[in-house]
Amino acid sequence: MSNFANTSSESLDADSAVTSNTSTMSAGEAATLDLSLAAADLNLHGTAQDGADTVSEKMQVEPLSLGVSSVPFPQSSGKRAFAIANTMAQATDLANLYQITVTQLRKRFDAERVLIYQFQSETQGTVIAESLTAGYAPSLGQTVAALAFGASTAQQYRQRGIISISNISEDASTPYQMQLFQNFQVKANLSLPIFLDDHLWGLLVVQNCTAPRRWDDTELALLYQVVTELTLKLQPLRFQAERQLLASVSDKLRQSSDNETIFRSVTRER
């Protein structure tokens, strides 16, 4: 009984000390304490909600917001992305930018194939750049169904964000998709949409051909960062290419006009 009384007394003393300390807090300290408690409560609710929202699907799809500040990138992926971005900055034209991107990314991922796919319609597109390990079937220049990289239509890529397939033999959604993957000897696939002016322009795709592969968060973050950098560099190089095309057409028209003038002058003299 005496022990119980002592324990109760100690508890009351401790409670009194906490109450006393709290009451002597400054307004700033109290606000900090309230915010800390609120953050902890929010974290607990968020964890519970995440568990409730987990859905088991054949194909692992990980949508990402396309805002750079919204993705907590691991430090290691940030350093690798920075190194790739420095190399991409040396690109002199679009073709050079595409090739630098796929070559550098394949080295960083240690994958058999990295490619850039440009949409030509809602369900079809063309592989415009590729870095490929020798011994595998090339896809460069080929028109390929969008389904070959995870989703069947451009709209699905817009909605889903990153599409990660770890094991093609288990996760292919249809026999036709399985056939498309087998045509290029793909065992695992990771793709992310490329947006230009809020329009889905294409995909950046990493493929493992030797064996299935589970893509980790660092790899997802690296791919996202490279796509962001590619998008930023695409805009000025596209404008440069358009200006060069217009200048070329203008020169040809002027030469044509000059040739016609010369021809008429020679005809008159005769």
Which distant-in-sequence residues (6+ apart) come within 8 Å of 216 by Cβ?
none
**pLDDT for residue 198:** 87
Residue 105 CA to residue 194 CA, distance in Å, equals 15
- Count of Cβ atoms closer than 10 Å to residue 26 Cβ: 8
**pLDDT tens readout for residues 128-164:** 999 999 999 999 999 999 999 999 999 999 999 899 9
Amino acid at 37: L
Residue 151 to residues 35, 157, 162, 194: CA-CA distances in angstroms?
A: 42, 6, 10, 14
Q: Consecutive sets of 10 residues in the chain, 270 residues long: mean pLDDT of each?
A: 44 42 42 40 40 42 37 54 88 93 96 98 98 97 97 95 94 95 97 93 98 95 94 79 68 70 62
Alpha helix stretches (DSSP H) within the chain: 2-23, 27-53, 75-88, 94-109, 154-160, 168-171, 175-183, 217-269
- Count of Cβ atoms closer than 10 Å to residue 145 Cβ: 14
Structure tokens at 59: 């194909």
